[in-house]
Structure 1
Amino acid sequence: MRSAVLWHAPAERTYAVSRPLQLEDIAVPEPRAGEVLVKIERASLCHSDLSVIDGSRVRPLPMALGHEASGTIVGTGPGVDDVRSGDRVVLVFVPACGQCRACTSGRPALCHRGAEANGSGDLLHGEALLRTADGGRINHHLGVSAFSEYAVVARESVVVIDDDVPFDIAAMFGCAALTGIGAVLNTAQVTAGQSVIVFGLGAVGLMAVMAAAQVSGTTVIAIDPLAQKRELALRCGAHFVGDPASAEALVAEHAGDGVDVAVEAVGSARVMEACLGLLTRGGALVSVGLPHPEQILSIQALQFPGMGKRLLGSYMGDAVPARDIPRYVQLWRDGRLPVELLHTDTKPLAEINEGLDALADGEVVRRLFLMS
């Protein structure tokens, strides 16, 4: 099978020239106990992929990248009897063991064993399976490695969906939807009539806009420096949009003394600090973006005990994928989550490095790739 492998990081821009992802021919692995073999139908390019390439997220290399995808099961390992060949699936980037303290407390997105396997480049049920032609190890990305024609993943990394959901739509439910929608509905638990501001209108931020807009009576403000993304936010349900310099004035005009919820989907400590200043008393900042590890948050501590403000981390939208993906797909079916608006275009896998540049420059929201 062909697989897009990252050999060295950080890579230099432009990526179309430095070509950090190389298409390699590697053997299709066999699923072990508790694993399934998936034919990847569509894979999306996400900032979490880019963060490995630019060095913001350090991962063991070489690594077969890609984590947001949809596909079809074509094989199962021993002990897997609740899914079968032919099932359409969304791939999930945190495989939950079901036994650690996070899983047993109802927070599988924070699974300890899943995080350990993801960090080491292994799979939930065993060490990495991918190999170079001479037998060298290739690490898995977030238990998925979706920029490949096939992927062996833990059974816990797939959620079965109905056959009528297009692969283009389904792919975006594995990361962007879980993260952005979950930040609003699960982490912040936005309720009717609240005001919400979203900073950063990539796919995750726009999913947050959609989710906030479908809650009755909310006021949704969307902020991004790029005009085309602000226009897209209006189509996704935002009521008011602006660039970062206009955020304070928009909040004063449309949310009085501050917003109830701010979603930070940029990955910037500076933006997080600004968001805290826009909250009303008792408001919540939901941190979704991934800042570089060297960024430090510097804020007035008194805002928390003195004004009741809250800072909430949200990883994978505090999702329970088996519950939330079908729920979000139904909202899409009902016309309340226009996920299709985020699909910029579809390209062959051979253009993956050019796609990295387009994502880094803000030219695309979700570019999907065909594996063959």
Structure 2
Amino acid sequence: MSSLTLRGIKKRFGPIEVLKGIDIRLESGEFLVLLGPSGCGKSTLLNVIAGLADANEGEILIGDRDVTDVHPKDRDIAMVFQSYALYPNMSVARNMTFGLEIRRVDRASQRAALMRVATLLQIEHLLDRKPAQLSGGQRQRVAIGRAMVREPKVFLFDEPLSNLDAKLRAEMRTEIKKLHQRLGTTIVYVTHDQIEAMTLASRIAILRDGAVQQFAPPEEIYERPANMYVAGFVGTPPMNFLPGRLTARGGRLGVGLRLSTETLPERMQPWLPLPEARGSSALQAGRDVMLGVRPETIGLATTQVTATLDGLVELLEPTGADTMAVLSVDGVAVTARLKPGELQQVGKPVRIAIDMSRASLFDPTTELRIA
């Protein structure tokens, strides 16, 4: 196990800057997920860490050792690719130990490492088979095992589950999570799947156009997103955004929503009070804000709730455990996550309540979170 430090990593392809000064530090044993859409630079960053691509600027440290200019084979890392890249003419056992053979490790040590890892991954009964005789999940385990037998300081995973079906992906996520808990090895994992990121990571780095938008534990990214991009990218369905202005009523600060295209007097606009304990010099009456509300913090209103909005049910999407309700609130679409059967009729007027203690406020110009 070892820590990993990236300092000011920049990467250019001709005039195009793909990585724009990445700064990340991982403690030994952490599980980092690089999350973002296609083209954000996450796989390029993984290749730079592996040494498969050279950084134009910056430093890479594994432990206290600077490996920025070190050859990939000498960095003491192991990489698991999106394609399993197994040798079709070799048995599972030979696929897993071939790297050790190349390094001239003695046969007894190879065998000991093979059996230890095969037992851990529960593939010891597959060692004599060829890759063509394996399922997708079994091939993925072999690819992981081939990396594990080397006992590297850092594991790198490049979207390893993207070729699997949904059920097998869920199973392999669980296996990788258990594996990390048993080994405690430092892992850097690339994916565009936010479910993988939220379930696997100890910390997530969300990338956009080659820059880190937020680097934090999954819970913080979900509950306190750094900006509107992060808030909209993480979460299914995504966060609802409602334009408004901070206004005071009865000595209490709240968000006066500006949803309608009509110019209404302030007292006639929907108003949602902020929690009384919420205090900040940035929260002053008259400031324009964007209110961010997660679908699960929206429910049907009761008489005791003050933070309410009136809407019209436009669409119901049953998903089994939940029902996604798309509501029209003054012409703005708002998605709520409700219990099955709470709403059953499209076109019906409804009053909803919002848990403002879990709401986020953003600056509409900079799109940054307001503390």
Q: TM-score, normalised by structure 1?
A: 0.29
Name which one, 1 or 2, has greater alpha-carbon Rg.
2
- Structure ranking higher in strand proportion: 2
Q: TM-score, normalised by structure 2?
A: 0.29
Greater RCO (Cα-Cα under 8 Å, separation 6 or more): 1
